[in-house]
Structure 1
Amino acid sequence: MADTTTYPTKPRLKPPSKTPSTSPESTFWKSFKTPTSDNLPNLTLTSSVTSLNFSPSHPHHLAATHGASLTLFSPSLTTSNIHSFKDSSFSASFRSDGLLLAAASASANIHVFDTKTRHQLRLLKSHSRPVRVSKFPYSDKLHLFSGGDDSVVKYWDVATETRLIDFIGHKDYVRAGCASPVDDHLFVSGSYDHTVRVWDVRGSGSGKSVMGFDHGKPVEDVVVLPSGGLVATAGGNVVKIWDVIAGGKCVYTLDGHNKTVTSICVGKVGKRGGGDVSEEYRLLSVSLDGYMKVFDYANMKVTFSMRFPSPLVSVAYSPDCSRRAIGTSNGTIYMGKRKKKVEEGVKDVVGNVFEYREEPKKRVLKPSFFRYFHRGQSEKPREGDYLVLRQKRVKLTEHDKLLKKFRHKEAFVSVLRKKNPDNVVAVMEELVARKRLFKSVSNLDIEELEILLMFLQKYTTLPRFSGLLMPFANKVIEMRAEDIRANGSLMVQIRNIKRSIQEELRIQQSLLELQGVISPLMRIAGRN
């Protein structure tokens, strides 16, 4: 007799799922290999990583604030610690030339260090409460602005340790700030009073903001995008994009996170490598839900998302597009690193250039070598080649093996004991096709019949199974009526099935009554 079951039985009630294709941008972000803290102990710090910042100058050291310390990471991940803080440290910021590094502290001071000697050069004192923001302007080497829990934003002359301007406007903690990349006189601050304010150093004797807009949630971070005309703000579980030129109009709201968005930064997915290849910027956001998301704000869409095992509190991206760092609440830094691209002329789809390496010379095989007779077995097929593929061995489950041997009753009992409704229905459909379903039911003993009735009581009223199981249940009860009357446990199962069907009928009747009420209202609404 011919074998009618070659492949595993599958339910025909659901369409096959499609495997999502990997986009070029996803490939780009996945190329950042993330070492774990087990392999690199120096990436595990003592407490929450409150801020991360890459130096704008080569070799782009990474500064991380955590606890009462400031740690500098070199590209080779060697570390250097600065312990000049009496309390928690925040907001590490490099000067444009990378020679100075500023960091705020909970002791209401701003510390300025020499990045080469690690010595403290200046200590700025004026805030009355913990300072959470300290930022150098984009290219100005003489000044710095800060913000803290006293709700005041201050502008400093670093060389003389002098406070030049106090900006008053926020009514709650100032927790975020960013300098404009196109004008050193402009910077933006964000506060827990839900507002974001734009400040202009020129002619600000009054200390008032030149523009403000309401994020709607306590602002955790703010970034001025490279064009200078857009500002991104993070607060609550949303990131918003604001058009400053249009007077602070919200142009997009990204609400893909489930918990508070703690940090955002700008990263590039392209480099100028010759020709007309332009830089493409992305906005990176991290959240307490453990997700990092990449947002293409030019096309207003999320292009990549990655899950990490801990709540994320800070993120930074190196200017040379080779490293991406993410800090967590438990002190771990996930450092993703890509190979540096050095050769021009050969570019991928996002504008990056591949590194060129000379192909090593292959050893010439001679007929006296054993490998000579096995050559070509690992060669990949070329376009136009005709492939002769081996048939893959199919791994069958227990009930599929029994169906293959035409042991229909045993296959039916086996799949019932596994309690997987999709597989049970698939085997029933196969037995219907073979005209052996009711024959198998008639051969069930009392224990096996009870298992079948328990399955029918649980799944008969489910909409996706009811079309098959409802008439099948009636037939089973009719066929095995005498056995059911003679056994008390089977009678209990029949009562359970009856109770489930009555409850389903009651629900359907309620839905029909509700439909009768809604239908006239819908028709009236359609006429209006």
Structure 2
Amino acid sequence: MAESFPVKPKLKPTASKNTLSPESKYWKSFKVLKEIDAVSKSSVFAITSLSFSPVAPHDLAATQCTNVIRFPGKTLIPKSKIASFPDTSASASFRCDGQLLAAGDLRGGVHVFEAKPTSLSKLKDLRRLKGHAAAARLVRYPRASDKFHLFSGGDDSVVKYWDIAEEKCLFSLFGHKDYVRCGDASPVSDEMFVSGSYDHKIKLWDVRVSSVGSVMELNHEKPVESVIYLPSGGLIATAGGNFVKIWDVIGGGRLLYSMESHNKTVTALCMGKVVRGNGDDAEQNRILSVSLDGYMKVFDYSKFKITHSMKFPEPLMSVAFSPDCSTRVIGTAKGTMYIGRRKAKVGTEKNSLGDQFGFGAVVDEPQRKVLRPSHFRYFHRGQNQKPLEGDYLIKRQKKVKLAVYDKLLNKFRHKEALVAALNGKNPSNVVAVMEELVARKKLLKCVSNLDGVELGLLMGFLQKCSTMPRYAGLLTKLAKKVVEMRADDIRSSVEQRNHIRNLKRDVEEELRVQQSLLEVQGIISPMLRIAGKR
């Protein structure tokens, strides 16, 4: 016997599903542990910058007011507070080995500290680099292996390249005409870095040819708030106004894409990763952007599309993503930090302990008795086994439940199936049955065989649902056919005449609504054309 399936409506529009995509599930898995006020509950100072150490356990540094706060990577509970700044701190940056931490202040100084002080006496500056005539808003170490240099940018429009050991400025790089507020070091070369300014320009610098000025200049067309290198080193992302733009610096500074998804100024960018198991595409890079509109957006620059969006209750000022892909931190204009962490998989902690002490992965598995064919459980083994990450799970097919009208359709009792659906009073099911009868070329025959009570059910349904847009295409044509075929029955019944009167009234009202909408469309269309030309 052939398997039976329930009928489904074809005219019902596909509703937008609220199911999350795998990408959204990944970013939702970063659970907000707590809202941390970095200084005090009454603090209203913005978290101006966030930076993770490149070395495990990836400590976090945040700048707020005159402080640089260090958060241990394991607990993310504020451990030490560097509060020796003479003015507001900005732009914390870890050295490539995670041993030193540098930050600027609004008096133009660049401070170098030990990243993990062992006592309060070591919170003093190891180096204090003086040279900017205005606030030093940009401080960055090279990314790869250079431990002796850093570069800075200030509101004096100058970019400086420093020798930390000698406390000496090696180069003063001129070219910007307004505040230098952001920059980033190249991931492939310690001698190259990029800076962004409020003069709308992004400049690429190479210290090997510092005498010729910048090696490339890009125009963002808005004051530049953030600029980052993408992992390949051949692309950069810039943020200014409500735009995020992707540039190909190897291709001569060609603009690849301009994303306008925020409603207010984009304040910070950082690189993030999507981790999905094992394989060639296990890790995929993403650009994370935050804005004063309170949104964090995740941008897949390989496909040029937004893959996830998250709303926060405050204007956002800074964002950082840990190198081990376990922590995402967002700083706000009101001093709140939103820290999201992913749950570690079972066995991760034990394996990390094994790696630490050099005896490999630690796996505690209870020893189970070997099953033999003489045991009853031998023939039922594996039934309750939970699937592993790489297993294919084959689910048992659910038994199909057929409604009354489905069973009648399977028995070719067409009129009774239509009446059963009408009695169910579910428009979707009624339309589904009607469509099935149309496919079988039996609908009009069923209509002609309805008695007075059954015809009343049909007329009531047509009067109620014929003006619904999702069903109008089928039901208006059917209503016309019913009036033509059963005109004598309708005239002889007061109830049927009432249904026809109500149906006529509803159709006239729907026509008036459609006419009004067309008039509104006629008014708006020319205005949209004019706006598009501008």
Shift in CA distance, 450/468, structure 1 to aligned 2, threshold 3 Å: closer
Distance apart, 1:13 and its partner CA: 3.7
Distance apart, 1:415 and its partner CA: 3.3
For 2:81, the equivalent position in structure 1 comes to: 82
How far, CA to CA, are the matches of 1:356 and 1:304 in structure 2? 40
Distance apart, 1:194 and its partner CA: 2.4
How far, CA to CA, are the matches of 1:154 and 1:363 in structure 2? 70
For 1:392, the equivalent position in structure 2 comes to: 399
User: TM-score, structure 2 length as denominator?
Assistant: 0.67
How far, CA to CA, are the matches of 1:407 and 1:36 in structure 2? 53
How far, CA to CA, are the matches of 1:190 and 1:388 in structure 2? 55
Distance apart, 1:293 and its partner CA: 3.0
Name the amino acid aligned to 1:70: V
- 1:443 paired with 2:449, answer no
1:120 maps to which of 121, 124, 133: 124
1:50 maps to which of 45, 48, 51: 48
Shift in CA distance, 392/304, structure 1 to aligned 2, threshold 3 Å: farther
Distance apart, 1:197 and its partner CA: 0.6
Shift in CA distance, 466/187, structure 1 to aligned 2, threshold 3 Å: same
Contact 2:36 2:338 in 1 (8 A): no
Contact 1:68 1:88 in 2 (8 A): yes
- 1:327 paired with 2:330, answer yes
Distance apart, 1:239 and its partner CA: 4.1
Q: What's the secondary structure of 1:308's corresponding residue?
A: strand
Q: What's the secondary structure of 2:337's corresponding residue?
A: coil
- 1:214 paired with 2:219, answer yes
How far, CA to CA, are the matches of 2:67 and 2:433 in structure 1? 64
Contact 1:177 1:188 in 2 (8 A): yes
Contact 1:88 1:106 in 2 (8 A): yes
Distance apart, 1:283 and its partner CA: 4.5
After TM superposition, list the pairs within 5 Å mapping 1:260-271 onto structure 2.
261-266=266-271
Contact 1:266 1:281 in 2 (8 A): no
For 1:62, the equivalent position in structure 2 comes to: 60
Distance apart, 1:50 and its partner CA: 3.5
2:288 maps to which of 262, 285, 289: 285
Distance apart, 1:93 and its partner CA: 0.3
Name the amino acid aligned to 1:65: T
- Structure 1 regions of 5+ residues with no counterpart? 344-353, 512-528
For 1:495, the equivalent position in structure 2 comes to: 505
Q: What's the secondary structure of 1:98's corresponding residue?
A: coil
Name the amino acid aligned to 2:338: T
Name the amino acid aligned to 2:501: M
Contact 1:134 1:147 in 2 (8 A): yes
Calculate the aligned-residue CA RMSD, in Å: 5.4
Distance apart, 1:388 and its partner CA: 10
2:303 maps to which of 288, 296, 301: 301
Deviations 1:100-133, CA, capped at 9 Å, x for gaps: 1122345654433211216131444554554432
2:8 maps to which of 7, 10, 15: 10
How far, CA to CA, are the matches of 2:15 and 2:208 in structure 1? 60
Pairs aligned (count): 467
- Structure 2 regions of 5+ residues with no counterpart? 352-359, 522-534
For 1:133, the equivalent position in structure 2 comes to: 138
Percent of aligned pairs sharing the same letter: 39
After TM superposition, list the pairs within 5 Å mapping 1:87-486 onto structure 2.
89-106=89-106, 108-117=108-117, 119-121=123-125, 122-127=127-132, 129-138=134-143, 139-159=145-165, 163=169, 165-202=171-208, 204=210, 208-236=213-241, 238-250=243-255, 252-253=256-257, 255=259, 257-259=261-263, 261-266=266-271, 282-288=285-291, 289-295=295-301, 300-301=302-303, 305-310=307-312, 313-319=317-323, 321-329=324-332, 330-336=336-342, 357=363, 361-364=367-370, 375-378=381-384, 389=396, 391-392=398-399, 394=401, 408-409=418-419, 411-412=421-422, 414-415=424-425, 422-430=428-436, 435=443, 436=446, 442-443=452-453, 452-457=462-467, 459=468, 462=469, 465-477=471-483, 478=487, 480=490, 483=494
How far, CA to CA, are the matches of 1:60 and 1:278 in structure 2? 24
Name the amino acid aligned to 2:229: V
